[in-house]
Structure 1
């Protein structure tokens, strides 16, 4: 938890910013438990989005690797990293859907988190060594609810020392692991809603909260800062991403349920499910052919200025683009194959 269209051929690892951010996986995987790809498998897989319920202890990159091996898909990526200890909704994008990752990152996410009070850790989660700060026994539910509301709206948030945020060109977690812990500069994030679901009082108090937020928000930082606000310290325990835009944990799938490529294909959702709301235009066959070649086309009725999504005659997503108000045309920017 916080895009160029560059894809590396099989056997060469891409180091593009898009690849690092969205979890694209290339080259031979490290896992040996799955059978090697047959040459006949290395064909284009179906385009779409798989709503995965990531298990605890597995990295988001490992999920992508396993699905790429299982399906033989040429392009697989995820839309937003979940920490290894976290569970819940991880959108995995296949083939042309990977081109929409930057739009998916703009969708709101919902988390349920257990915040442990009375202690802090260097990692701001349960992986670090516990250091006692204050006794939370006297805290009441109203105290926690009141403090939590100060972390809603557009706020300045300092990412954890152990995070992927860059400090002087280096990843903060690399500096921290190398004995140079540093706090990345605060940055603006948006928290749409934060509410207390449950509060267990006592010397090891735990506040269970639900947070709906925008991209780049660290729940570890909210846990740390809430504990600091209450004067007793705090760190993040269990974390579940329960929703990512329209994707919910209730309609997700666990990796162990997917034993063959067809099982993945049957679970794929249309690529447009990860797009925010924007005006749609319908293309006829001739217009579709032009758009697929990257050419602007005039569409009727004339769309309003702004971002647009273009669909073919059967309603399938063809491209994303914008309106050219001077020429009154739809200008394609990202074309799905």
Structure 2
């Protein structure tokens, strides 16, 4: 039985759901999930949870990083090269300097409208399903956060291309950045290609392709990534043998006040938005032998500190 995580390098042409299905068949495992949907054309890091670890997906970090290419002078229905071309105009006079003057508009906390062809649900139906039927639905702008936008390369021409490295939070659509950057420059823009290089602490340098996974399985070398390597941003607590028994019984445990350093580390996790000493936060839980026991929620009051089981392994 496999328990833990797989850092999958998703190939182009497969949906995230397709990838989950293939992993399920390869590992002969029922419980498989993924952390963060990728469009079929997008390649790169797709965190896969195996077995009981599917219950831990909600506790992953939300930070993501991408490398992508924006093509200017072109707009499409999907905001990438897969969709119907809506407009096409050569823009040989567009320069990198002009583009760079507008990039700061897309850094920090920004609002963006999701692409019409996206997996967001409206009235129980996904936007791409409605778009394919020709139905137009107004979707409110969403607040997202972009931490960095770094220019990697620029290729001038009739349809110039910009290579970017992007670091952002959850829910950010790179296609929307391509579309909106083209719009603010009055030339149009669409996403030409995209690779996710990092997601929830998983890096592309350490990812496995399906070919890698199949080879490791054939050689008996595949080993899932343990939760401890993925959840370090939560901080940790070690329980005594007596407390371990009570943990498995689902009891709430009085514990010494968590050190300020661990409390700050736990609060940095996006699941705990408020770093106040009295705000609940989450910790990894281990026994004295280093065995992962699950995730606990810590609540501090003026009189005591309580650890409550949230996920028990």
TM-score band by shorter chain is 0.7 to 0.9
Q: Which residue of 2 aligns with 1:329?
A: 306
**TM (normalized to structure 1)?**
0.81
Structure-to-structure mapping, 1:144-293, within 5 angstroms: 144-259=99-214, 261=217, 266-275=222-231, 277-293=233-249
Per-residue displacement from partner, 1:71-108 (whole Å, max 9, x unpaired)? 1223110001111000000010001111111122x421
What is the DSSP-based 3-state SS (H/G/I as helix, E as strand, rest coil) of the residue aligned with 1:215?
A: coil
Question: Who is 2:269 aligned against?
Answer: none
Report if the CA contact (8 A) 2:257-2:305 is conserved: no
Partner secondary structure for residue 222 of structure 2: helix
Please name the residue that 2:266 is paired with: none
The residue that corresponds to 1:318 in the other structure is 293
C-alpha RMSD of matched pairs (Å) = 2.0
Alpha-carbon distance between aligned partners in 2 of 1:331 and 1:310, rounded to the nearest angstrom: 11
Matched, 1:294 2:269: no
Contact 2:144 2:170 in 1 (8 A): yes
Cα shift at 1:128: 1.0
Query: Which residue number corresponds to residue 79 of structure 1?
Result: 35
Q: Which runs of 5+ in 2 are unaligned?
A: 264-276
Query: Is the aligned partner of 1:307 residue 2:262?
Result: no
Q: What is the alpha-carbon distance in structure 2 between the residues aligned to residue 150 and residue 263 of structure 1?
A: 50
Q: Determine the C-alpha separation between the residues in 1 that align with 2:151 and 2:220.
A: 36
Are positions 1:99 and 2:55 aligned together? yes
Instruction: Give the secondary-structure state (helix, strand or coil) at the position aligned to 1:136.
Output: coil
Q: In 2 relative to 1, CA 324–265 (structure 1 residues): closer, same or farther, beyond 3 Å? A: farther
CA distance in 2 between counterparts of 1:264 and 1:102 reads 30
Inter-partner Cα distance in structure 2 for 1:139 and 1:61: 39
Report the alpha carbon displacement of residue 69 of structure 1 after superposing the two structures with TM.
1.1
Deviation at 1:331, TM superposition (A): 1.0
